[in-house]
Amino acid sequence: MGEFPNIKKPTLLLDKTKCLANIKRMASKAKKHHLQFRPHFKTHQSLEIGRWFKDFGVDKIAVSSLSMANYFSKEWNDITVAFPTNILEIDTINSLASNITLNLTVENTESVEYLKKHLTHKVNLFIQIDVGYGRTGIDPSNTTYTNDILHVIDDSKMMEFVGFLYHAGHTYSCRSKDCIENIHHHGLKVINELKNQYLKSYPNLIVSLGDTPSCSISEDFQSIDEIRPGNFVFYDLMQHQIGSNAIEDIAVAMACPIVAKHKDRSEIVIYGGGIHFSKDRIIENGTTIYGKVVEKTASGWGKVVKDTYLKRVSQEHGIVKVPSEDFDHYAIGDYLLILPVHSCMTVDVMTNYLTLEGQEISTLNSL
């Protein structure tokens, strides 16, 4: 990989070609199904990468925090915060709402009552629905509580109900496309029934769907008006195991220097641990994996190296298991390229990317 400068410490590498292909594929799917494409920017967290989406007609985005909304508001003027509203950040909410179209997510009467009293600028509100994930959101059958929230919203000139938002995060426990489709279709059935109950009173309401596995795999989006996947921009080993993507679609890899070798146990120590990869992991055939080593190529990286994987991480250390017959192929002072298990978390703990052309891209974390 002669195009890279010398790697001296753990460095997150980005294959722009793969990244753009992932964006194009999802944008094309949204267009095919007449869906609003509102990508979730929590994965890449970069203004520069965000600009790449504009070439595909994207003009609305989602984020996971108000601080992230503030960062992206420099270049985006329609932002959904797809996380339950934190009323303690009311000053930030009002500041953002004065400059952009701000869409908040709510799921309780306490938050909307507080917003009603303290908003100084108008916001749009999504009500979050739980379709089986069990993390956040209202039980769709509890329409009494949904009506209580809507009553408060409708009674305020500063709030407007725009629709229902949900995230079928339990697709992340899947290990097959059939499993993803089953969860997705259950969510569609639930949300369709709910949507039909409220369409007469709110004819313009929309339904926003958020999980990458459903958006990647399914071709059925009945009752859905908007998709807001995030991880798809890079994908990762976890999404591959779920069935969302091919290995070749993964657009980021970590370059980690080799600092020690232990032939007696056929293990290599790298400079690259939990503060670089996070500690997300997958299990394959009973083996715990924190990342997979890939071949270096002249243009970036290639195939996964068989039976060569990141088996353990601590704060700075990573322990890579290699086949004994390959052990002498690696030298101290060289570096390994490793596909991350969860690209969202890996990006969050790193401070910038390096593209295959050697160009550095700043991220949210570098501010």
Per-residue pLDDT of 275-317, as tens digits, reads 999 999 999 999 999 999 999 998 899 999 999 999 999 999 9
**Contact status, residue 1 vs residue 355, Cβ threshold 8 Å:** no
Using DSSP, state whether 361 is helix, strand or coil.
Answer: strand
What is the pLDDT confidence band of residue 242, given thresholds at 50, 70 and 90?
very high
pTM of the full structure: 0.95
**Mean pLDDT of all residues in 78-98:** 98
Largest distance between two CA atoms of the chain: 71
Dist. CA 76–CA 103, nearest whole Å: 13
Q: What is the pLDDT of residues 199-234, one digit of tens each?
A: 999 999 999 999 999 999 999 999 999 999 999 999
- Which residue type does 139 have? D
Which residues are CB-contacts of 164 (< 8 A; sequence separation ≥ 6)?
126, 127, 128, 129, 191, 194, 195, 205, 206, 207, 208
pLDDT of the residue at 1 = 38
Q: What is the pLDDT of residues 53-72, one digit of tens each?
A: 999 999 999 999 999 999 99
